[in-house]
């Protein structure tokens, strides 16, 4: 009897691998494949970034990003974080934008008692035994400083100029809307158009009870109802810390986020900018992203071939490096060696289930915890855009479904085992008594 025949005889006499052993084998393969495939991906990526095509697209993205940042800064819809050396980075969220505009609205509400619903100094947390000696403006500036925002932004109350959404419609659009490039006011004044937008959002979110409207058109159109203003002010220092939750403040944040989102969408889709700049930017940006996706795929495939496919050819019986270490092997249900098609299909399934390890690449260079490139659309199914993140989620769900039968079946088979009519055996357990299903499945 040859050595290979002796080994296969041991596989025939071995017990079904328990879930823990199979999981450890999978985890070991996961770790080894991650290290190797990431190294291969990074090498492929370094080659890609030095290509002329990549550099050209990268330059277009930089030029168009700088152009857009300069353009959007004039609209007052976006705030930038400056590093003191003239470099500016856009805030990743609308935190400052909402904070500044809600603060200005609070200041306006504190100064105007419209229709008997204004709020007053005595509402400033006196019931909590606190008093503010400084002016309310200085108080807001102090809070802005604590949050790392620009203190000078909290100086004046809301007006058609100081509220950033109002400024966008009544100043920026009015002065930059030649041939209705940004929007068609449809016989309305720009102030009327802004009020319609504001009214529609307040109605949509059901925030009517939060606001009182001024009958004097020379003033900013709204104040915050006094009980709402009081609640927001009481929790203002703790906003974002979860010390005190303010549903009223969060509601106003939702309102300003929606208004800002729709206003910026108008800029992005303005005829001149969209045709001359945005299409060029998005084409180059997607090209860069797809290059990264290709490098990820190539690195993973080559790593999988090295660590799984080649060992299967060398060791036979469905044994790769991780199964070799854990001492597991694959056998057909009729106690014969796996056929070639079964080995190929098992290999394919394993490659699919292991592919999500590439998401961990986002934690390392060149991504450095930025997963944005993984959201690049790879292809579409109807109206659904498919990107890597959606693929990862889909595979993860399939992986869980595949493994569940292993916990409950007598021979600890996964869904793939059942489909291929194979099983995984544990060579550490030879000629053992066949315990009942519960005992055999114990971890």
> What tokens does 344 get?
């190929």
Dihedral of CA 68/74/75/77: which sign? positive
Q: Is 33 found in the same domain as 85? A: no
Clarify whether residues 214 and 88 are in a common domain. yes
Residue 221 lies in a domain: yes
Identify whether residues 83 and 38 lie together within a single domain.
no
Asked whether the predicted pLDDT for residue 234 surpasses 80, the reply is no
Q: Are residues 147 and 256 in the same domain?
A: yes
pLDDT (0 to 100) of residue 84: 66
pLDDT, position 133: 40
Do 212 and 114 touch, CB atoms closer than 8 A? yes
253/313 same-domain check: no
Residue 434 scores a pLDDT above 90 = no
In a domain, 62, yes or no: no
CA angle 271, 277, 279 (to 5 degrees): 85
Query: Quick check: 91 and 79 in contact, CB under 8 A?
Result: yes
Evaluate whether 267 touches 182 at the Cβ level (below 8 Å): yes
* 181 found inside a domain: yes
Distance from C-alpha of 30 to C-alpha of 326, rounded to nearest angstrom: 14
Tell me, yes or no, whether 205 lies in a domain: yes
The total of structural domains in the chain comes to 2
Query: Domain boundary residue among 229, 248, 269?
Result: 269
Residues 257 and 283 in one domain: no
**Range of the structural domain that residue 185 is part of:** 75-269
Query: Has residue 391 got a pLDDT over 90?
Result: yes
Is residue 405 situated within a structural domain?
A: yes
d(CA 21, CA 12): 18
pLDDT 10s digits, 304-321: 999 999 998 888 888 999
Tell me, yes or no, whether 243 and 381 share the same domain: no
Question: Which one of 217, 249, 269 terminates a domain?
Answer: 269
Would you say 226 and 142 are in contact if contact means Cβ atoms under 8 Å apart?
A: no
pLDDT at 224: 85
CA 289/CA 282 separation, integer angstroms: 10
Residue 331, CB half-sphere, CA atoms under 13 Å: how many? 21
Per-residue pLDDT at 121 exceeds 70: no
- According to DSSP H, which parts of 176-216 are helical? 190-205
Residue pLDDT, tens place only, 237-293:
665 454 445 788 888 999 999 999 999 999 999 999 999 999 999 999 999 999 999
Claim to verify: residue 231 and residue 257 sit in the same structural domain: yes
Decide if 348 contacts 336 (C-beta within 8 A): no
In a domain, 67, yes or no: no
Whether residue 171 lies inside any domain: the answer is: yes
Residues 93 and 20 occupy one common structural domain? no
Q: Give yes or no for a contact between 193 and 183, defined as CB atoms under 8 angstroms apart.
A: yes
* Sign, Cα dihedral of 167, 170, 173, 176: negative
Q: Judge if 187 and 251 occupy the same domain.
A: yes
273-277 long-range Cβ contacts below 8 angstroms, 24+ apart: 273/71, 277/64, 277/67, 277/68
| Residues 155, 302 within the same domain | no
- Do 236 and 119 lie in one domain? The reply is yes
């Amino acid at each position: 009897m040859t050595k290979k025949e002796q080994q296969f005889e041991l596989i025939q006499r071995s017990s079904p691998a328990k879930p823990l052993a199979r999981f450890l084998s999978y985890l070991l393969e996961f770790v080894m494949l991650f290290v190797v495939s990431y190294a291969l991906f990074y090498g492929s990526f370094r080659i890609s970034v030095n290509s002329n095509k990549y550099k050209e697209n990268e330059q277009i993205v930089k030029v168009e990003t700088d152009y857009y940042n300069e353009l959007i800064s004039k609209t007052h819809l976006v705030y930038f974080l400056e590093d003191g050396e003239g470099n500016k980075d856009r805030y990743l969220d609308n935190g400052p934008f909402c904070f500044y505009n809600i603060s200005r609205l609070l200041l306006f509400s504190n100064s105007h008692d419209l229709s008997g619903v204004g709020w007053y100094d005595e509402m400033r947390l006196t019931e909590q035994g606190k008093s503010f000696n400084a002016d309310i403006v200085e108080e807001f500036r102090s809070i802005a400083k604590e949050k790392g925002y620009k203190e000078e932004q909290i100086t004046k109350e809301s007006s058609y100029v100081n509220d950033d959404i109002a400024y966008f419609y009544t100043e920026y659009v009015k002065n930059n809307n030649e041939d209705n490039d940004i929007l068609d006011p449809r016989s309305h004044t720009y102030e009327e158009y802004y009020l319609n937008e504001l009214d529609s959002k307040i109605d949509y979110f059901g925030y009517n009870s939060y606001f009182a409207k001024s009958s004097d058109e020379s003033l900013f159109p709204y104040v915050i109802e006094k009980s709402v203003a009081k609640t927001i002010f009481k929790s203002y220092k703790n906003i974002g810390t979860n010390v005190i939750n303010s549903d009223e403040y969060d509601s106003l944040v939702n309102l300003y986020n929606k208004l800002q989102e729709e206003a910026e969408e108008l800029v992005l889709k303005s005829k001149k900018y969209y045709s001359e700049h945005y299409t060029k930017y998005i084409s180059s940006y997607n090209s860069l992203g797809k290059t990264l996706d290709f490098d990820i795929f190539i690195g993973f495939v080559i790593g999988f071939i090295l660590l799984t496919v080649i060992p299967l050819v060398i060791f036979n019986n469905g044994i790769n490096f991780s199964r070799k270490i854990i001492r597991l092997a694959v056998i057909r249900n009729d106690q014969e060696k796996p056929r070639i098609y079964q080995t190929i299909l098992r290999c394919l399934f394993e490659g699919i289930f292991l592919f999500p390890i590439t998401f961990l690449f986002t934690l390392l260079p060149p991504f450095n915890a930025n997963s944005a490139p993984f959201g690049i659309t790879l292809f579409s199914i109807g109206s659904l855009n498919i990107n890597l993140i959606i693929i990862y989620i889909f595979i993860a769900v399939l992986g869980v479904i595949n493994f569940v039968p292993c916990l409950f079946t007598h021979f600890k088979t996964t869904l793939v085992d059942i489909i291929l009519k194979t099983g995984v055996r544990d060579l550490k357990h030879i000629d053992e008594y066949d315990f009942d299903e519960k005992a055999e499945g114990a971890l």
